[in-house]
Chains A and B, each alone.
Chain A
Amino acid sequence: AGVVKAEDYTLPAYVDRRDVPLPEVAFVRDLSAQQRALKEKEKASWSALSVDEKVELYRIKFNESYAEMKKGTNEWKTIVGGVLFFLGLTGVILIWQKHFMYGPTPHTFSEEWLSAQTKRMLDMRVNPVEGISAQWDFEKNEWKK
């Protein structure tokens, strides 16, 4: 007839979404004989249906209920665990690097150099309002308590 068969993905699809309360198609596409009989019974009065039959009709039409859709998973535990694991792995790498790879720290980090450096900063009154010179007591020549 010259008409291409409609691919599955081009047809209206069922979707479990909180903002789509009534999807375009029912969930179950091909009904079994039992389900078809139930659909016939549905055409009569609904009070004749038992509770199980009503639930079965619901499950034909929908996959997950809203409660099931909104239920959380335990995925966050995996994520937190993975993050902590890789942080730890990074720490191990850094420790290895410090121990095996890096050379000695520059001489400007020695105790003598650092104290001479701090003394010069205080002499110059670096940051006298809120910073380092504000923490030094110039009269008593010691750090403020």
Chain B
Amino acid sequence: MRGLLARRMKFHLLGAFLVSVGCASLYKFAVAEPRKRAYAEFYKNYDPMKDFEAMKAAGVFESAPAK
């Protein structure tokens, strides 16, 4: 009759939609994108052999001693 439930429902449906989309986009731009960029940057000029030699020299490998 006075649309009390309808008005409340409309308000909350819109609010819930905005809140969830907001949370998702906030996560995407604050967490997901920076992480993807960090990985891309790391592997852009990554030399695994050099990394291996550095770790071997530090003596952390049992099967590849530092000598």
Contacts and interface: CB of A to CB of B under 8 A. Distances in A.
A123 B59 contact: yes
Contacts of A134: 38, 42
A129 B60 contact: no
Interface residues of B, number: 10
Interface in A86-145: 120, 123-125, 128-130, 134, 138
B38 A125 contact: no
Contacts, number: 20
10 contacts: A123-B58, A123-B59, A123-B60, A124-B55, A125-B51, A129-B38, A129-B39, A129-B42, A134-B42, A138-B54
A99 B58 CA distance: 41
Which of under 10, 10 to 19, 20 to 34, or 35 or more describes the interface residues of A?
under 10
A124 B54 contact: no
Contacts of B42: 128-129, 134
Contacts of A129: 38-39, 42
Interface SS of A by simple majority: loop
A80 to B, nearest CB: 25
Interface in A35-65: none
Given A123-B60, A128-B42, 12 more contacts: A123-B55, A123-B59, A124-B55, A124-B60, A125-B51, A125-B55, A129-B39, A129-B42, A130-B35, A134-B38, A134-B42, A138-B54
Contact of B38 (A120, A123, A130, A138): A130
Nearest to B51: A125
Interface in B23-54: 35, 38-39, 42, 51, 54
